[in-house]
Amino acid sequence: MIRLNLTAAPEWLELAPGLRLLVAPLTTALMVSARADAALEALPEEASQEELALVMAKSVARRAVLDWEGVGDDAGNLIPVSPEGIDALLEIWPVFEAFQTQYVARGLLLDQEKNASAPSPNGPSAAATGTAKLAKGAVPTAQPD
């Protein structure tokens, strides 16, 4: 069952002690926009899955992060949200992992959830698993009455 959140309100994610991000809902429009990001287009064909994941996470975050708490510059002064700041924040491994788990993965889980009952590839029983035990020997054919 797909559970719909009809409020579409931003929510706070706590990614680390003292670090919170206010994020927009993970919508289809947000993901489509992120997938069309020029940074993804600029990746070479031989880019690794890890490189692709990082660039995609940054693309999603630049569109989703509306505000944050606990992010500062080298001198400890709080800084406003910016695309450069978001990219730098996601270069910190535990922050990247927390963002992937708490925000991006929820969208992927929903995508898997909606595909719980995929159609069988070739006919109604093609993907079914057998439940009857195999016969131990030859069985005579039933004679018609």
pLDDT in tens, 48-74: 999 999 999 999 999 999 999 999 999
Spatial distance between the Cα atoms of 103 and 57, rounded to a whole number of angstroms:
10
Q: What is the 3-state secondary structure (H, E, C) of 35-75?
A: HCCHHHHCCCCCCCHHHHHHHHHHHHHHHHEEEEECCECCC
Q: Cα angle vertex 70, ends 81, 105, to 5°?
A: 75
Residue 65, beta-bridge partner list: 23
Reported confidence tier of residue 138, pLDDT bands at 50, 70, 90: low
Tell me the β-bridge partners of 22. 12, 67
Q: Copy the structure tokens of residue 53.
A: 């994941």
* Domain ranges (residues) in the chain: 11-114
Whether residue 60 contacts residue 103, with contact meaning beta carbons closer than 8 Å, is answered with yes
Average pLDDT in the 79-93 region? 96
- pTM to 2 decimal places: 0.69
Lowest mean pLDDT among 45-54, 66-75, 111-120, 123-132: 111-120
Best CA proximity match to 2, nearest among 76, 93, 111: 111
Range with the largest mean pLDDT of 4-18, 72-86, 98-112, 113-127: 72-86
Which percentage of the chain shows pLDDT scores above 70? 70
